[in-house]
Amino acid sequence: MNGRQPVVVGVHATEQALSLPHRDAMGLALEAVRGAIEDAGLTPADVDGAQVDWPGPGGVPGEGSSWARMLGRDLRWTSDSMLDNAGSRGLLKAAAAVRAGFADTVVVGGCKLVSRGAGPVGAGVPLEFADVWGSYVVAQFALVAARHMHQYGTTAHQLAEVAATVRNNGTTNPEAMMYGRGPYTADDVLASRMVATPFHLLDCCIVGEGGAALVVTTAERARDLPHPPVAVLGGGMEYHQAAYANPALYREVGQLGRDAATRAYAMAGIGPQDVDVFSLYDPNSFEIIRQLEILGLCGEGEGGPLAASGAIAVGGKHPVNPDGGCLAYAWNGTQQMTLKVVEAVRQLRGTAVHQVEGAELAVVGNAGSGAQHYEMSVLGRIR
Amino acid sequence: MSRPVPVATPLSRPFWDAARRGDLVVPHCPACGLRFLVPEPACPGCMSADWRYVPSAGRGTVYSVTVVHRAPGPGFETPFALAVIDLDEGGTLLSHVDAGDPDDVTIGMRVRVDFRPLTDEITLPYFVPVPGD
């Protein structure tokens, strides 16, 4: 393996809860960064790159180079953008920097509190042709799901099976926001109140608070670090348009991510059937069904039956979100994307709460706005 | 509290001016023939900045619909049918289809525009079913 092969060596998830009134965003970001560096067996001064949210107070809010004073050294790599600081997108940019030699060790993550009293989540900026119609995240995804159901006969019961399966992983995960709630059957999901057809309340993810971070370095640097390194074997990103200004149309974005996945698999030299565990964006039950298709586990329109067959359970053929996902573990704004990487790394280390036995290859899929963007990475255990 | 009111921009002002007169207009690019919404600084088909608003007859087909029971904020009467409308001449927009019972709105349903004032400045292009079309 190339000495500059990017590897994840540290991860940290803060507490995740519906509300953390005793915490602030800056404190959570600091904890995430400290935690990930400590988990890597490194010290702050070992880190020469920071793609981390800086909410303030202190420093310059929004400016990533504020982290230089916290890490106690001049940085060689940073980012000011929230989406560049999270999940597969943050990880792939950090990996590219490490591979190219712009930096040796990069921390990615942060915290930006978005939910406290926010109610249903919208785009975050005024949208002239959308807001006036009562468009918001759940409704935009619903428009895509409804069209898939119309074209392919995907059923509300299949969606409910997905929601129940992933939620029940959270029921028995002590770190999950919904720990101890449930277990749920598909009928429980269908009996919960309607939010926006076809999504019932239990089809939709929770909205909460928390932070997360990870540390990327080179395989060479990772040799004497405590945890088995997890290699970034491949990745791909796809952007149809900016979020929510136009409605997400199934004919345009229903298969968005397929190209990213094809390229990511090729880069990693694997196929979808080789993947042991999937850590996928689940703002609702349907988005998992869609991703089974774009990730090449079945053909277009076949995701409903596959998802409802038991394949996505921890003991199934294609386990999805053993931590409970956004449906039951945590959705915390942008950093839920990083939590997807954290779970994949834990699975590949063999230390996950609901461990997929012998997991060697994991896929992380982040998405958003209906989904009009997709960011995927392939991670693997180095033996 | 009321629902969010669109704030016209230099790109969109002709759309809202026309709506106030009861006309639906859609950006059209003479260079490549594309009709598109929402208005953009340049044509999404060919990047020409020379597009113009052209009239639409205001008829179309429901591409997708969700019946929203939980509104994103105050000012909305729930449930309502939030729909994506493909206009016959081209161009796709988000709107509400008022069919009386929102559960009656279906994918493939034929609809026509029905302007309803929201404020002095802003008149909204709702849609209503066209039976037998």
Structure tokens at A336: 């839920």
The answer to whether residue A152 neighbours chain B at the CB level (below 8 Å) is no
To the nearest whole angstrom, how far is the Cα of A206 from the nearest Cα of chain B? 15
Q: By percentage, how much of chain B surpasses pLDDT 90?
A: 94
Mean pLDDT, all residues of chain B: 96
Contact B5 A132 (CB under 8 A): yes
Per the CB < 8 A criterion, the answer to whether B56 and B18 are in contact is no
Nearest to A135 among B70, B94, B122 (CB): B94
Would you say residue B5 lies in a domain? Answer: no
List the structure tokens of A346: 């834990």
CATH assignment at residue A110:
3.40.47.10
User: Is B4–A131 a contact, with Cβ atoms under 8 angstroms apart?
Assistant: yes
Smallest Cα distance from A10 to chain B, Å: 38
Q: Is A144 on the interface with B (CB under 8 A)?
A: yes
Mean of pLDDT values over A345-350:
98
Residues of chain B contacting A143 with CB distance shorter than 8 Å: 64-66, 82, 84
Predicted pLDDT of residue B35: 98
Q: Is residue B8 part of a domain?
A: no
* CB contacts < 8 A (A, B): 105
What tens digit of pLDDT does each residue of A11-65 get? 999 999 999 999 999 999 999 999 999 999 999 999 999 999 999 999 999 999 9
Predicted pLDDT at A92: 98
B43: tokens are: 């044509």
Q: What ipTM was predicted for this assembly?
A: 0.97
Residue A373 lies in a domain: no
DSSP state of B10: T
Q: Which of B4, B79, B122 sits opposite A126 (nearest CB)?
A: B4
For residue A273, being part of any structural domain is answered with no
Q: Does the beta carbon of A136 lie under 8 angstroms from any beta carbon of chain B?
A: yes
CA pair distance A76, A278, nearest whole angstrom: 32
The string of pLDDT tens digits covering residues B96-114 is 999 999 999 999 999 999 9
Burial of residue B67 (number of CB atoms within 10 Å: 0-12, 13-18, 19+) = buried
A87: left (phi over 0), alpha (psi -120 to 50) or beta: left
CB A260 within 8 A of CB A375: yes
Q: Which residues pair with B23 in a beta bridge?
A: none
Residue A77 lies in a domain: yes
Task: Kindly indicate the confidence band of residue A118, based on its pLDDT and cuts at 50, 70 and 90.
Answer: low
Instruction: Tell me if chain B has a CB within 8 Å of the CB of A247.
Output: yes
- pLDDT band of residue A242 (cuts 50, 70, 90) is confident
Average pLDDT for residues A230-253, to the nearest whole number?
94
In this prediction, residue A173 has a pLDDT band, given cuts at 50, 70 and 90, of very high
**Coil, strand or helix at B84:** strand
Q: Kindly determine whether residue A139 and residue B92, on different chains, have CB atoms separated by under 8 Å.
A: no
Which phi and psi (to 5°) does residue B90 adopt?
115, 155
CA angle A8/A14/A20 to nearest 5° reads: 155
**Confidence grade of residue A82 (pLDDT, cut at 50, 70, 90):** confident
Distance, in Å, from the CA atom of A154 to the CA atom of A140, rounded to the nearest integer, reads: 18
- Residue A213 in any domain: the answer is yes
Range of the domain at A89: 6-117+208-222
pLDDT given for residue A32 in this prediction: 98
What span, in angstroms and rounded, lies between the C-alpha atoms of A60 and B72?
32
CA distances from A19 to A166, A206, A328 (A): 22, 11, 14
Cα–Cα nearest to A376, from A87, A53, A86: A87
Is residue B78 situated within a structural domain?
A: yes
Nearest by CB to residue A132, choosing from B4, B9, B66, is B4
Instruction: Give the domain range for residue B35.
Output: 13-129
Cα–Cα–Cα angle for A296, A215, A77, nearest 5°? 100
Please indicate whether, in this complex, the C-beta atoms of A129 and B94 are within 8 angstroms of each other.
yes
The whole-angstrom separation of Cα A258 and Cα A249 is 16
Residue B1 in any domain: the answer is no
In a domain, B6, yes or no: no
Instruction: Report yes or no on B38 lying in a domain.
Output: yes
Write out pLDDT tens, residues A261-317.
Answer: 999 999 999 999 999 999 999 999 999 999 999 999 999 999 999 999 999 999 999
Residues 6 or more apart whose Cβ sits within 8 Å of residue A119: B72, B73
**Nearest residue on chain A to B4, judged by CA atoms?**
A132
pLDDT band for A107, please (50, 70, 90 cuts): very high
Question: What share of chain A in percent tops pLDDT 70?
Answer: 97
How many domains does the structure of chain B reveal?
1
Q: pLDDT by residue (tens digit) across B69-90?
A: 999 989 999 999 999 999 999 9
* Count of helix runs (H) and strand runs (E) in chain B: 1, 7
Residue A365's pLDDT is 98
**Residues in chain A within 8 Å Cβ distance of B69:** 193-197
On the question of pLDDT at A358 being above 90, the answer is yes
Residues A51-86 as b/e (b if ≥16 CB within 10 A, e otherwise) read bbbbbeeebeeeebebbeebbeeebbbbbeebbbbb
The total domain count for chain A is: 1
pLDDT of the residue at A115: 60
CA distance B47 to chain A (A): 15
* Residue A197 with chain B: CB contacts under 8 Å: 66-67, 69
Q: What's chain A's average pLDDT?
A: 95
* Residue B75 belongs to some domain of the structure: yes
Residues of A in contact with B35 (CB under 8 A): none
How close B88 gets to chain A, by Cα (Å)? 17
Helices A87-100 and A336-349, packing angle to 10 deg:
70
Residue type, A110: G
Instruction: Give the pLDDT confidence score for residue A119 in this predicted structure.
Output: 61
Task: Report, as an integer, the average pLDDT of A71-78.
Answer: 97
Residue B108 lies in a domain: yes
Would you call B72 and A128 a contact, using CB atoms and an 8 Å cutoff?
no
pLDDT(A369) > 90: no
Query: Is A33 within the bounds of a domain?
Result: yes
Q: How confident is the model at residue A112 (pLDDT cuts 50, 70, 90)?
A: confident
Residue A125 pLDDT > 80: no
Residue A117 has pLDDT above 60, yes or no: no
Q: Looking at the complex, report in whole angstroms how far the Cα of residue B67 sits from the nearest Cα belonging to chain A.
A: 5
